[in-house]
Amino acid sequence: MSRDRPALRAARHAPGDGSMPRYEHYIAGCWTPPEQGEYLASTDPSTAEPWYEFARGREGDAHRAVRAAHDAFHAPAWRELSQARRGALLRRLATLVAEHAEYLAGIETCDNGKLLAEMRGQLTGLPEHLHYYAGLATQLGGETIPGPHPAVLNYTLREPLGVVVAITPWNSPLLLTVSKIGPALAAGNTVVVKPSEHTSASALELALLVEEAGFPPGVFNVVTGLGAEAGRAVVEDARVAKVSFTGGTSTGAGLARSCAGRFVRTTLELGGKSPHLVFPDADLDQVATGIVAGVFAAAGQSCVAGSRVLVARALHDELAHRVVERARAIRVGDPLEATTQLGPLATEQQRVRVEEYVALGIAEGARVLTGGGRASVPGLPGYFVEPTVFVGGDNAMRLCQEEIFGPVVAFLPFDSEETAVALANGSRYGLAAGVWTADLSRAHRVAARLDAGTVWINSYRSTSPMSPRSGFKDSGMGIEHSRHVMAEYTRLKSVWVETRAGHVDDPFILRT
């Protein structure tokens, strides 16, 4: 089927018939072919057909990218740049992203299958994130600390770490890339981005805008390929000072073990099995809207997807009925079309995974109220699945314990607030949660007791670059977004100065 995809700017035509555009790595300000001359294809999940090629990075490519970032970090063109000037470069990048937002949104939709409306919303909001980090660049500073003697000055410095590796997933590629490179660059680090092998185009297109914004060569680099090849090699390079990773919990755990042995800092945003807690006084129309938006709007391909609905027993059947009615009315189709409400999953592997969990849920004793199968879209043989609603399970089931990353939600009843909190916290994950109640006291009380880095009250999936985002338990470590993120990308140095030589006569005060 012929579809109007964006014409890729940073890709060149492949040799031969030129039918598929081809990307190279972006290293030290240059488009660089892969060392071993190999390329991989990215598949449009709506058509199940490849639509561009990208470089298959290996160890040599990864090391070249890290070396370029390392050299740029120590070069005067970046290291001696003022904080205000770093902020100005980020603001210029924000302007360029705003100018190309529609184009970039189209690329991401063709790469991961999410709705163009959703990706457009992310991309038009992305300049706000960059402007925010640009502002933080000029606020970065130390403090003066009272010394043990009037003749002793003690102050602190906030310094950049060095080379930062940003490893990003396929579900929201540029949003998650900017959440890492924004504060990293604002703090004065240099970066190497390793995007998902399923969604490499937007990061490479962003490289064009970084270059146009005026960042010195080597400050921003993109190396593409498989995680086990390019990803592992870039992480294990001895010149890397920090790794920021968003992805699966098992992969994140392995990455953390590798970095811990070398004392390399990590920020990990990992999986989730986020609950909605629906209390008897909740507005059911509002709740149903929140549930649908929380798990179906992104086809469940979000780490904060509200995939467990814990609902007061008296409301269980009515709420389930309302969600089922809305799920059945969802228009599944081409994510580039304005009327589509649910696009395909990003990969065939992901669709198979969702189907396996549906079968597992049924085998465990849960019951499907709607969905559970593949969705048929005329003219598009892609990875479409139906919005699926389960009831009749229990919290110990794998259906309710493991991250599915698809449009699947399970309803579980509760009889008391205590039980609701216990069910919500009865998971290895602790990324997010939603609380639905008209009782303000209960809302605050429950929010304080939940093991979740983000809690929404009478809403779901709200976000802002000014608000911190973190995961508890197996959902990760470290902070993204907000002013607190700058501590993740800097090191704190304490400086002691004896201001009047000979006036410090106590030989012990300067000893540690």
Going residue by residue through the chain, which has 512 residues, state the pLDDT in tens, using 9 for 90 and above.
Answer: 457 899 999 998 766 556 789 999 999 999 999 999 999 999 999 999 999 999 999 999 999 999 999 999 999 999 999 999 999 999 999 999 999 999 999 999 999 999 999 999 999 999 999 999 999 999 999 999 998 888 899 999 999 999 999 999 999 999 999 999 999 999 999 999 999 999 999 999 999 999 999 999 999 999 999 999 999 999 999 999 999 999 999 999 999 999 999 999 999 999 999 999 999 999 999 999 999 999 998 899 999 999 999 999 999 999 999 999 999 999 999 999 999 999 999 999 999 999 999 999 999 999 999 999 999 999 999 999 999 999 999 999 999 999 999 999 999 999 999 999 999 999 999 999 999 999 999 999 999 999 999 999 999 999 999 999 999 999 999 999 999 999 999 999 999 999 887 665 665 555 55
Q: Whose structure tokens read 């003022």? A: 82
Are 93 and 213 in contact by the 8 Å Cβ rule? The answer is: yes
- The pLDDT of residue 19 is 72
Six token digits for residue 290: 């929140």
Measure the CA–CA gap between 299 and 292, rounded to whole angstroms.
10
Q: What are phi and psi of 22, to 5 degrees?
A: -135, 135
pLDDT, position 149 = 86
Q: Across the strands, what pairs with 412?
A: 310
Query: Residue 395's pLDDT is what?
Result: 97
Map residue 82 onto helix, strand or coil.
coil
Distance CA 177, CA 73 (A): 19
Q: Which are the contacts of 115, defined by CB distance < 8 A and separation ≥ 6?
A: 109, 297, 335, 340, 341, 342, 343
Angle among Cα 25, 35, 190 to the nearest 5 degrees reads 40
| Model pLDDT, residue 339 | 95
pLDDT at 2: 53
Using CA atoms, how far residue 499 sits from 109, 138, 152, in Å, is: 60, 28, 6
How many CB atoms are closer than 10 A to CB 199?
26
Counts of helices then strands in the chain (DSSP H, E): 15, 24
- Name every residue whose Cβ is closer than 8 Å to that of residue 382 and which is 6 or more positions away in sequence: 44, 45, 46, 47, 48, 113, 344
Which structure tokens are listed for 336? Answer: 């580039």
Residue 41: predicted pLDDT: 97
Rounded Cα gap, residues 447 and 426, in angstroms: 15
Compute how many other C-beta atoms are within 10 angstroms of the C-beta atom of residue 391: 18
Q: What is the CA radius of gyration of the chain?
A: 24
Q: Which helix (H) or strand (E) holds 313?
A: helix 313-329
Distance between CA atoms of residues 63 and 235, nearest Å: 10
Active-site positions?
A: 269, 303
Q: Which residues make beta-bridge pairs with 411?
A: 309
What is the three-class DSSP state of 409?
Answer: strand
- The structure tokens listed for 342 are 């649910």
